[in-house]
Chains A and B, each alone.
Chain A
Amino acid sequence: MVIYGVALLAVCLLAGTLLGELLGVAIGIDANVGGVGIAMLILVLLVDYLKKNNKLNVKSQEGMAFWGAMYIPIVIAMAAQQNVVAALDGGPLALLAGVAAVVVSWAMVPVLSNIGKGTSTFSDEELGGTDDVRNIK
């Protein structure tokens, strides 16, 4: 059932968000600490477990793949509701601080990527929906 996959996503997101909120309270800040990241970890572990036990049928996977494929359209809607005017109204200080932070962070990616052993490659399994996203036409 498609809804099983969608419900699994929903449960993971809710669990992750809840844990993120609790983590925020535990360290005394008014912010969700990594809720989405925790939810993703829970999902990866659950999917791993369910697949090993053949509990995840194709229909359920389609439910998740659909939302994975909707990711890019949702990101574009997200871009369309950014506060671009405020960003450009910030003047030279804000512009310079933002740009410099991004450029230096980019420059550090290759430096930190070399920490750790072994090469990094994608898993054999295709991400849900990348094909659909890429072959939009």
Chain B
Amino acid sequence: MFEILSDTFVENGLIVSFAIVGITIYLSYILSDKLTNGKIHGSAIAIIMGLILAYFGGLFTGGEQGLADIGIFAGIGLMGGGMLRDFAIVATAFGASLDEIKKAGLPGIISLFAGVIVSFVIGVLIAFAFGYTDPVSLSTIGAGAATYIVGPVTGSALGASSEVIALSVAAGLIKSILTMIGTPFVAKYIGLDNPRSAIVYGGLMGTTSGVAGGLAATDPKLVPYGAMTATFYTGLGCLMAPSILFLVTRTIFG
């Protein structure tokens, strides 16, 4: 009996994930109503629940894909994977205002450069405070503070040690998770309630998954604007961190 059940789940992975996510959202909205009187958005609670599930999934399996590493929940990997995520992000642009995007072009571009540089500098300074002094390690950890993709790309390009690359990935993951969880709570203090500030926010934070989750939990109407700039960030980071930012770091610490 148990085998039949688990086979059914494994064979219908994507369908299982629809059901799990649906139930998770349903419970999250009940919690949002009953415990917080709707003060904390149901989506925000659902994202936190998702992260908790991912933690336990990782704990039980030792894998890298959270809940998706558990056989019967493998469909989560398809539903929440890059392909469908990007597809849904693009779909949110249906209804975004062309004029707003045009108006925010300049602040958007400035925020991208500022976002990459500021995160990189912070990462470098903290790595230095922890006793790293060689420019390769410093730059790799700085790049990790940008996103968890820029970190390893930079580390491999510069020939950093695997331990340092792992650190850079962890820093990027922390950034992504905190952005997901924290954004709805700070939104009103940073004026994140209109398309322009969302475009700037996407450029500054830059972690596609963090921005995607953070804005979803804040106000779904902001999603297309923030996601649009965020998707340029990793590319820009991969361009700048191993080259110009590394050279500057080497000049200062080398």
Contact = CB atoms under 8 A, between A and B. Distances in A.
A105 B216 CA distance: 18
B216 A104 contact: no
B200 A30 contact: no
A48 B95 CA distance: 9
A58 interface: no
Contacts of B166: 86, 90
Interface in B75-106: 76-77, 79-81, 84-101, 103-104, 106
B9 interface: no
A125 B119 CA distance: 35
B46 A127 contact: no
Contact of B178 (A68, A98, A107, A120): A98
Contact of B68 (A33, A81, A87, A119): A81
B111 A112 contact: yes
A121 B103 CA distance: 11
B209 interface: yes
A1 interface: no
Could you say which of A94, A115, A126 has the most chain B C-beta atoms within 10 Å of its C-beta?
A: A94
Given A37-B228, A112-B107, A13 B174 contact: no
A6 to B, nearest CB: 9
Interface residues on A, range: 35 or more
Contacts of A133: 43, 220
A119 B166 CA distance: 43
Contact of B122 (A33, A36, A101): A101
Contacts of B110: 112, 115
A24 B68 CA distance: 30
B205 A105 contact: yes
A31 B90 contact: no
Interface residues on B, range: 35 or more
Contact of A81 (B76, B86, B103): B76
B209 A40 contact: no
Contacts of B81: 78, 81
B192 interface: yes
A123 to B, nearest CB: 3
B145 interface: yes
Given A76-B25, A127-B221, A88 B90 contact: no
Contacts of A84: 51, 54-55, 58, 66, 173, 177
Interface in B148-192: 149, 153, 166-180, 182, 186, 190-192
Interface string B45-59: 011111101110111
A77 B163 CA distance: 29
Contact of A109 (B130, B174, B200, B228): B200
A118 B64 contact: no
A89 B114 CA distance: 29
Contact of A85 (B20, B58, B126): B58
17 contacts: A32-B234, A32-B235, A37-B229, A74-B85, A75-B47, A75-B212, A76-B43, A76-B80, A77-B76, A80-B24, A90-B167, A95-B171, A96-B126, A104-B122, A106-B204, A123-B99, A133-B220
The 7 closest A-B pairs by CB, nearest first: A90-B170, A98-B174, A77-B80, A33-B235, A79-B50, A123-B97, A85-B58
Interface of A: 9-10, 12-13, 16-17, 20, 23-24, 27, 29-37, 39-41, 43-45, 47-48, 61, 64-68, 70-102, 104-110, 112-113, 115-116, 118-123, 125-130, 133-134, 136-137
